[in-house]
Structure 1
Amino acid sequence: MKGKKVIVLVIVLIVIFMLGLFTYRLSKENSFSAESANWRVSLTTEGENQSTLSCEYIGSRTDTIKSFKYKLKGARDYFSGSEDGVWENGYKYEKNTINAYELIPDQNNQFKISITLDGDSEELFLTKK
């Protein structure tokens, strides 16, 4: 009888540990950011595969912006996007994504983003906040 109680107790402890680990992984949020003379970029990863990317143009251009492209890279190439339109008063791009796999930074614990705005390109390295 005492042996069964020990086994049940061990099983309960394992289940509690696994639930705690699962909850921790789901609630884990990491923020990465970079800023240059032209861009303010942030990437927030939430849980296993959810992320939010924000790219805000903060440069001195005052002409109309027509095309925006980006490519994000970490431990591997992750995703890219583009947007065409007409923006008169600056530009801000924001995208919430459910990714097929977890976003992992490179060996330096950062992500690289290549941004092209109307043909002018710039690379930024997003570091953990």
Structure 2
Amino acid sequence: MTRKLICTVCGLMAMASSLVFAGEAEVLGVNVSKVEADVYRFSVTVKHEDEGWDHYADKWDVLDLQGNILGTRVLMHPHVSEQPFTRSMTLSIPMHVKEVKVRAHDKIDGYGGEEIVVKLP
């Protein structure tokens, strides 16, 4: 290969890696505690290589196992220097729901990272 072609290929590889560097938002842990009969407090740990205001983990959801969203915790700013990070939300869950799934979302990749299913206490 010529030196110019090698430089071009290396440059393209660097650009491609920077586009996917942040990856998908992943749920690393979920702590659930019962507050009242049908009210639970969720503390969720999310990991995402936030890059700033244009690409960061912007929310996490609690869903029943049929995929219905029971609640969403909106994240209002990037956590560039705080990774992973934990945020909480108190949520009323229908009494017939015994397990939930927690997933995270980011502004570029949407959903797709690691999700966790937890039994309610």
Scaled by the length of structure 1, the TM-score of the pair is 0.49
Q: Which runs of 5+ in 2 are unaligned?
A: 1-25
Q: Is the 8 A contact 2:59 2:72 kept in 1?
A: yes
Superposition CA RMSD, Å? 3.1
Kindly indicate whether structure 1 or structure 2 has the higher relative contact order, using CA contacts under 8 Å at least 6 residues apart: 2
Within the alignment, does 1:89 sit opposite 2:87 as a pair?
A: no
Q: Which runs of 5+ in 1 are unaligned?
A: 1-36
Per the TM alignment, residue 43 of structure 1 is displaced from its structure 2 partner at its CA by: 2.1
Q: State the distance in 1 between where 2:116 and 2:87 align.
A: 16
Q: Is the 8 A contact 1:62 1:89 kept in 2?
A: no
Q: How many residues align?
A: 87
Q: State the distance in 1 between where 2:75 and 2:63 align.
A: 19
Q: State the distance in 1 between where 2:38 and 2:99 align.
A: 17
Per the TM alignment, residue 83 of structure 1 is displaced from its structure 2 partner at its CA by: 1.2
In structure 1, the residue matched to 2:36 is: 47
Scaled by the length of structure 2, the TM-score of the pair is 0.51
Please list the CA deviations of residues 101-129 of structure 1 after superposition, one character each: whole Å capped at 9, or x if unmatched: 64543xxx421122113444332211357
Residue type matched to 2:37 in 1?
E
Residue type matched to 1:67 in 2?
A
Q: Is the 8 A contact 2:32 2:120 kept in 1?
A: no
Inter-CA distance 83–49: structure 2 relative to 1 (3 Å threshold): same
Per the TM alignment, residue 47 of structure 1 is displaced from its structure 2 partner at its CA by: 2.6
Q: State the distance in 1 between where 2:63 and 2:95 align.
A: 9
Q: Which structure features the higher share of helix residues?
A: 1
Q: Which structure features the higher share of strand residues?
A: 1
Inter-CA distance 81–46: structure 2 relative to 1 (3 Å threshold): same
Percent identity between the aligned chains?
A: 7
